Amino acid sequence: NFSNTTSLNAIKTVTVVGGGLMGSGIAQVAAQAGLNVNLIDLKPELLENAQKSIQNNLQRVARKLHKDSPAQIEAFVKDASQRIKVSTNLEDGVQADLVVEAIVEKLDVKQELFNKLDQLCPEHTILASNTSSISINEIGAGIKRKSKFGGLHFFNPVPVMRLLEVIKSEQISEETYQAMMEWGKSVGKTCITCKDTPGFVVNRLLGPYSAEAMRMYERGDATKEDIDIGMKLGAGYPMGPLELSDYTGLDTNKFVLNVLYEKTGNPVFKPIPLLDKLVAEGKLGIKTGEGIYKYKK
């Protein structure tokens, strides 16, 4: 497709840059929806892990969809996994209708990637970032195709969480915005729209909530277990705030809070000594075997 516009029907090939937890989840949901996917990461070992976790998560989805049919389960997993091609070379992913970036949360590294993609991708390609809290406009400051750029913010675990935040950049065209909304729907998500504001909708609201939970625990107002049980049974959340922080990763939590504090100056986002200490000790949550809770490896 070498036309100047990208409509939903034109999004057939998606490239995901970044093979971590979010990137592999995004690749999975796109492949499940019947799209061809390139998953790019500089580190081959990350791509190997991504392929393994995609296989596992596809099995979980397939078992849910085709409970009684082992043959259909196998076919679903095979079909979706065959649609995902992995590569360590960015150039293998540039022939795409949509590129979603899910790399490290560092502004300069993201800017460099988008500048490269802007040069290498065909004119019609939409570029999007999955950043959780960095400004979309700052990420795209150096690109020329500003009307074909925005944010697509997914939630962990991507195959399960039904929301997609579609972030409007300053110069996004109505056409690009509509294509992003429709694409989100086509991969099974409910889309909401937010301006390019710190933390968008979900992290802006989860931030003060998880921060105050951490401070309650730090002050000894209640045990960690009781804080979590409180919000599960008293407010209907699937996980308590401290469990969720361990699940998301305390390093990610700290990063999001720091950005929100820097951008808004709101004291609810102020650094939390307990969180800083755990992160400094490498206790990042489930992924390292210990965070606020301890986990069996």
Residue 245 is a catalytic residue: no
- Give the active site residue among 129, 203, 210, 245: 203
**Runs of H (alpha helix) within 121-190:** 136-139, 174-186
Q: Taking CB under 6 A as the rule, which mask of x and - marks residues 43-82 in contact with ligand 3HC?
A: --------------x--xx--x------------------
Burial class of 113 by CB neighbour count within 10 A (0 to 12, 13 to 18, 19+): buried
List the structure tokens of 222.
Answer: 């209640």
Q: How many CA atoms lie within 13 A of 262 on its CB side?
A: 10
Closest residue by beta carbon to ligand 3HC? 132
| Residue 97 phi, psi dihedral angles, 5° rounding | -90, -25
Binding-site member from 220, 238, 265, 267 for ligand 3HC (CB under 6 A): 238
Least separation in angstroms between CB 200 and ligand 3HC:
9
Our CB check for ligand 3HC shows the closer of 20 and 157 to be 157
- 245 makes contact with ligand 3HC (CB under 6 A): no
**Residue 210 sits in the site that holds ligand 3HC (CB under 6 A):** no
| Residues 9-48 interacting with ligand 3HC (rule: CB under 6 A) | none
Which residues sit opposite 87 in a β-bridge? Answer: 40
Q: For residues 254 and 276, is the Cβ–Cβ distance under 8 A?
A: yes
229 CB neighbour count, 10 Å cutoff? 14
Rounded to the nearest whole angstrom, what is the least distance from the CB of residue 197 to ligand 3HC in the complex? 14
CB nearer to ligand 3HC: give 54 or 86: 54
Contacts (Cβ under 8 Å, ≥6 apart) of 206: 199
Taking CB under 6 A as the rule, does residue 156 contact ligand 3HC?
Answer: yes
Stretch that binds ligand 3HC, among 84-92, 228-236, 238-246, 260-268 (CB under 6 A): 238-246
Query: Would residue 132 show up in a list of annotated catalytic residues for this protein?
Result: yes
Q: Are 249 and 285 in contact (CB under 8 A)?
A: yes
Neighbouring CB atoms inside 10 A of 2's CB total 6
> Which positions lie near ligand 3HC, rule CB under 6 A?
57, 60-61, 64, 132, 155-157, 159-161, 203, 238-239, 244, 248, 252
